[in-house]
Amino acid sequence: MTQSYAEIYKRSLEDPEGYWGEAAAGLHWHKPWDRVLDSSNPPFYRWFAGAECNTCYNAIDRHVEGGRADQPALIYDSPITGAQRTFTYRELRDAVAAFAGVLKARGIGKGDRVIVYMPMIPEAAIAMLAIARLGAIHSVVFGGFAANELAVRIEDAGPKAIVSASCGIEPGRIIPYKPLLDEAIELSSHKPDFCIVYQREQVTADLVPGRDEDWEEAVAGAAPADCVPVAATDPLYILYTSGTTGQPKGVIRDNGGHMVALHWSMKNIYGVEPGEAFWAASDVGWVVGHSYIVYAPLLHGNTTILFEGKPVGTPDAGVFWRVISEHNVKVLFTAPTAFRAIKQQDPNGDLIGNYDLSGMRYLFLAGERADPDTIQWAARQLNVPVIDHWWQTETGWSICANPAGIELLPVKLGSPTLPMPGWDMRVLDENQQQVAPGEVGALVAKLPLPPSCLPNLWNAEARFLESYLEEYPGHYKTGDAGFIDEDGYVFVMTRTDDVINVAGHRLSTGGMEEVLADHPDVAECAVIGVADAMKGQIPFGFLVLNAGVARDNGEIVGEVVGMVRQRIGPVAAFKSAVVVPRLPKTRSGKILRGTMQKIADDESWKMPATIDDPAILDEITEALQSAGYAKGA
Ligand code: COA
Ligand code: AMP
C-alpha cells in the first residue's frame, strides 16, 4: 500500500534508523553497517557506521551488471559548441575505469584529494566518478572562479593531483583555463604532484613538462582500475562554499549517507523511474551539479543531461525546450534566474510551441527564493507542476520540497512546501525559544540531521561547530531566516549571514569586501546584495576613500570592479560601487548593511536605535539614487 507524505515523514522522525536502513537496501554495500546511525558522539552523527561501499560502483557498475549496460547514462548537449555525445552505462563505466587507471598509476588512492577545475564537458563527470572509484576525494572548483579562489582551495585541500581542461566557453568568448591553473599553483604553497589536462579543440594548452599530462595520451596507456570499497563514513568529496568570511568553507560529503538520500530522492521527490531522462541545468561546480547532474540520476539508473550552454543566447530562449523534447526529459531542475532570463526574452513563451514537451512531468526550482511571478509564468507556459525546493551545499539534497513521487501536496506560493523525511525544522528566536507559527526567526533543524548532510568541514572542525552547531545547541543552523505557518509550511525569507545569491550562485559579500579593502585608496568599504530583476541579487559596493585622495572616483570604482573580477572571478558579477564620505554604523562600530540594503531595494526600514549618526543614511540614499537605486526613498 502506498504511504502518504505525512505517514512517511512521521516515521522518519520516530524511527530514523528503520526508515533510512530500509532506504539503503536499494544500493550495494560491500559490507553491511553496524549501526544505521551512530549517535555515540553528539553533535557528530555518522550514518551507516561500519559499512563499506563505493559510490561509483553504485552509480555505474551496478547498472551495467544489472541490465542497463546499453541504456544512455549521460548525454552531453553543448549548444555553445554544437557538440553532442551519448555515453551508455557501459561506455561510461569504461571511460571512468580508464581514467581511474590513469590516476591510480600515478599514485592516487583512498583518501587522496584531487581537484577538478573543468568546464561542462563529460570529462568533468568522468573525472569525479573516477576519483570516487578509487576511494579518493574530489574537490570540484567552479570554472567561473579566478586563479586566486582556485589557489585558496588548493591550499586548503592539499590535492595530490589537479584535473583540468584547456578552456571553458562562454557566449562570445573562450576562457583559457591553463593560465588560471598555472597562476593558482604558483600562488599556492601546496603544489600538486601532477596535473591532467583535457585539450579541447578551441584552445590547446601548453603543458608544463614533468608536471602536466594530456588527458587523451594518459588514457591511451591506462589499465582500467576497479572500484575500491571505502567506509560509508569516508569523504566522497569536499565542496567549498561561501559564508561569513572570504575563506570558503570546505563542506565534506560522506559516501554512504549521501548515496542513500540521493537515491531515495529521485523517486520520492522528483518522481522519476529508472531509465527516464533527468536534467539539472546547473554546473558541476555547484552542489546542484554534484548531486543532480552526476550522482543522483546515475545512482538511480536514470539518463542524465550534461548541458553546456545558457538558458538564453545559445542560440535563443528556446534551447531548454529543444533539449527537453530532443532527449525526452521528464524532469527539469534549474534556478529561478534561468526562467527569469527566458521570460525576459520570450515573454509570451512563443518558442515553447516549436517543441513537443508532452513528456515533461515537473519543473523543480532551487538555489534562491523562487518569486511567485516566475513560478506562475513557468506553470502557465509549460503546463506542468512547478516545484520550489530549498536546500544548500551543506545538505546535498532538499530540506523542504513537494515530494512529487509520494504525493503532490497543496502549493503555497513563496514556500518550498514541507520538510522532507528526517528534517525536524524549527524557527527559533535569539533566546533559542521556538516562535509562534508565522513569526520570523532563525530556521534550524533539530539534530540528528538526515543522511547526506555535512559531517564536518575539511580541516576546520572548530569552524564547523561555530558556524552551524553552537548558536542553537542541539540544532543545525541553516543560515536562513524565515517562518513556519500553522500548516507546517516553511517560508525561507533571507540569509542571516553575508551570503548573497547572484543568478543562483552563492557568494560572500565579506569576501568581496576583503578585496575592496585591499585597494590602496580605500579606507573602508561595505558590499551589500541589491535586488536585480534577472539575477535575483547583485553585489553593490560602498567605498570610503583615504583622506587626501584626489583621484577621479570613477577610476577608483573601475579599479575595484577589476580587482573583484581578477581575484574572485567574473561569476561574482560585481559591477557597481559608489564613493561615499562615511558608512552608517552602530555606536559599537557595526556597519548597518541591512539598513543600506533595505534603502536600496525600497523596502520599509526603521532608523536603527543604535545608529551613530542618522545623517549618514541621507548620504547613502543619495549615493544609491545616483546609481539608480532607492528610487522611492
Ligand atoms: N567560466 C568562466 N566564466 C564564467 C563561467 C564559467 N564556468 N560561468 C559564468 N561565467 C562568467 C560569465 O561569462 C559572466 O561574465 P561577464 O561578466 O563577462 O558577462 C559572469 O561570469 C556571470 O555569469 P552568469 O552568472 O552566468 O551570468 P550571465 O549574465 O552570463 O547569465 C543567466 C545569466 C541567468 C543566464 C545565468 O546565470 C544562468 O544560466 N543561470 C542559471 C542558474 C544556475 O545555473 N544556477 C546554479 C545553481 S542551480
Ligand atoms: P547553495 O549552498 O549555493 O545551494 O545556496 C544555499 C542557499 O540558497 C540557501 O541557504 C538559501 O539561502 C538559498 N536557497 C536555496 N534554495 C532556496 C529556495 N528554494 N528558496 C529560498 N532560498 C533558497
Residue 455 beta carbon below 6 angstroms from any ligand 2 atom: no
Using alpha carbons, select from 148, 157, 129 the residue that is nearest to residue 54: 129
Using alpha carbons, select from 252, 295, 285 the residue that is nearest to residue 118: 285
418 and 515 belong to one structural domain: no
pLDDT at 633 over 70: no
pLDDT tens for each residue of 15-71 = 999 999 999 999 999 999 999 999 999 999 999 999 999 999 999 999 999 999 999
520 and 417 belong to one structural domain: no
Helix (H) or strand (E) holding 556: helix 553-567
The amino acid at residue 559 is E
Task: Taking residues 454-475, report their average pLDDT.
Answer: 97
153 and 244 belong to one structural domain: yes
Which CATH number covers residue 507? Answer: 3.30.300.30
Residue 368 belongs to some domain of the structure: no
Task: Taking residues 335-343, report their average pLDDT.
Answer: 97
Instruction: Indicate which residue's Cα is closest to atom 17 of ligand 1.
Output: 570
Backbone angles phi, psi at 428, to 5 degrees: -115, 150
pLDDT tens for each residue of 248-282 = 899 999 999 999 999 999 999 999 999 999 999 99
**Across the strands, what pairs with 492?**
482
Of the residues 423, 443, 472, which one is the last residue of a structural domain? Answer: 423
Ligand 1 centre distance from Cα of residue 283 (Å): 10
Residue 64 belongs to some domain of the structure: yes
Instruction: Indicate which residue's Cα is closest to atom 15 of ligand 2.
Output: 367
Phi-psi group of 287: left, alpha or beta (phi > 0 → left; psi -120 to 50 → alpha; rest → beta): alpha
What separation in angstroms does the CA of 55 have from each of 227, 253, 453? Answer: 9, 12, 16
pLDDT at 191 over 90: yes
Specify the number of domains making up the chain.
2
Residue 392 beta carbon below 6 angstroms from any ligand 2 atom: yes
Residue 349 belongs to some domain of the structure: no
pLDDT of residue 52: 98
H-helix segments, 25-87? 55-56, 62-63
Where in 555-602 does DSSP place strands (E)? 576-579
Ligand 1 centre distance from Cα of residue 571 (Å): 6
Cell 583615504 locates to: 546
pLDDT band at residue 1, thresholds of 50, 70 and 90? low
Range of the domain at 547: 503-626
Ligand 2 centre distance from Cα of residue 277 (Å): 25
Residue 605 belongs to some domain of the structure: yes
Ligand 2 centre distance from Cα of residue 399 (Å): 10
Instruction: Indicate which residue's Cα is closest to atom 9 of ligand 2.
Output: 392
What integer best gives the mean pLDDT of the chain?
96
- Report the distance separating Cα 33 and Cα 49, nearest Å: 6
pLDDT of residue 382: 97
Cell of 121: 564537458
416 and 512 belong to one structural domain: no
Q: Cβ atoms within 10 A of the Cβ of 236, count? A: 28
- Ligand found nearest the CA of 310: 1
Rounded to the nearest 5 percent, the helix, strand and coil shares of the chain are: 30, 30, 40
Cell of 92: 561510461
Question: Percent of the chain scored above 90 by pLDDT?
Answer: 94
State the Rg of the chain over Cα.
24
| Best of 164, 571, 575 for a ligand 1 pocket test (most atoms within 8 Å of beta carbon) | 571
- Report the distance separating Cα 375 and Cα 477, nearest Å: 28
pLDDT of residue 534: 93
pLDDT tens for each residue of 66-114 = 999 999 999 999 999 999 999 999 999 999 999 999 999 999 999 999 9
408 and 552 belong to one structural domain: no
pLDDT at 380 over 80: yes
pLDDT band at residue 519, thresholds of 50, 70 and 90? very high
pLDDT tens for each residue of 395-440 = 999 999 999 999 999 999 999 999 999 999 999 999 999 999 999 9
User: Poorest-confidence range of 205-219, 332-346, 452-466, 581-595?
Assistant: 581-595
Q: What is residue 434's DSSP assignment?
A: B
Residues with CB under 6 A from ligand 1: 119, 143-144, 168, 170, 175, 282-283, 286, 288, 310-312, 334-335, 337-338, 341, 367, 503-505, 570-571, 573
509 and 408 belong to one structural domain: no
The torsion angle over the Cα atoms of residues 129, 131, 137 and 141, rounded to 10 degrees, is: -70
- Report the distance separating Cα 53 and Cα 494, nearest Å: 38
Using alpha carbons, select from 146, 141, 156 the residue that is nearest to residue 184: 146
H-helix segments, 1-138? 5-14, 16-24, 55-56, 62-63, 89-105, 122-133
pLDDT of residue 44: 97
514 Cβ contact list (under 8 Å, min separation 6): 245, 246
pLDDT of residue 605: 87
pLDDT at 244 over 70: no
Nearest atom of ligand 2 to the alpha carbon of 241 = 2
Instruction: Indicate which residue's Cα is closest to atom 40 of ligand 1.
Output: 338
Residue 428 belongs to some domain of the structure: no
pLDDT tens for each residue of 577-602 = 999 999 999 888 889 999 999 999 99
155 and 304 belong to one structural domain: yes
Residue 46 beta carbon below 6 angstroms from any ligand 2 atom: no
Residue 153 belongs to some domain of the structure: yes
Residue 475 beta carbon below 6 angstroms from any ligand 2 atom: no
12 and 124 belong to one structural domain: yes
Where in 406-511 does DSSP place strands (E)? 418-419, 425-428, 441-446, 475-484, 490-495, 499-502, 505-508
Find out whether 261 and 84 touch, Cβ atoms under 8 Å: no
Nearest atom of ligand 1 to the alpha carbon of 504 = 45
402 and 518 belong to one structural domain: no
Which CATH number covers residue 286? Answer: 3.40.50.12780
Residue 32 belongs to some domain of the structure: yes
Instruction: Indicate which residue's Cα is closest to atom 6 of ligand 2.
Output: 392
Ligand 2 centre distance from Cα of residue 499 (Å): 10
149 and 271 belong to one structural domain: yes
Ligand 1 centre distance from Cα of residue 101 (Å): 34
Instruction: Indicate which residue's Cα is closest to atom 1 of ligand 2.
Output: 392
418 and 532 belong to one structural domain: no
Task: Taking residues 339-368, report their average pLDDT.
Answer: 97
pLDDT at 632 over 90: no
* pTM for the predicted model, two decimal places: 0.96
pLDDT of residue 631: 84
Find out whether 331 and 279 touch, Cβ atoms under 8 Å: yes
Burial class (CB in 10 A: 0-12, 13-18, 19+), 70: exposed
**Across the strands, what pairs with 409?**
none
**Across the strands, what pairs with 401?**
418
Half-sphere exposure of 49 toward its Cβ, with a 13 Å CA cutoff?
12
Strands 72-78 and 83-88: antiparallel
Q: Considering Cα of 359, then 325, then 378, then 407, what sign does the dihedral take? A: positive
pLDDT band at residue 607, thresholds of 50, 70 and 90? confident
Cell of 587: 555606536
Q: Considering Cα of 299, then 304, then 306, then 307, what sign does the dihedral take? A: negative
Strands 398-401 and 418-419: antiparallel
Nearest atom of ligand 1 to the alpha carbon of 502 = 25
Of the residues 368, 403, 423, which one is the last residue of a structural domain? Answer: 423
Find out whether 176 and 205 touch, Cβ atoms under 8 Å: yes
Of the residues 400, 423, 446, which one is the last residue of a structural domain? Answer: 423
pLDDT at 245 over 80: no
Most confidently predicted of 236-250, 376-390, 492-506: 376-390
pLDDT at 163 over 90: yes
171 and 292 belong to one structural domain: yes
Residue 584 belongs to some domain of the structure: yes
Question: How many contiguous H segments (helices) and E segments (strands) does the chain have?
Answer: 20, 32
Mutual angle of helices 16-24 and 5-14, in 10-degree steps = 110
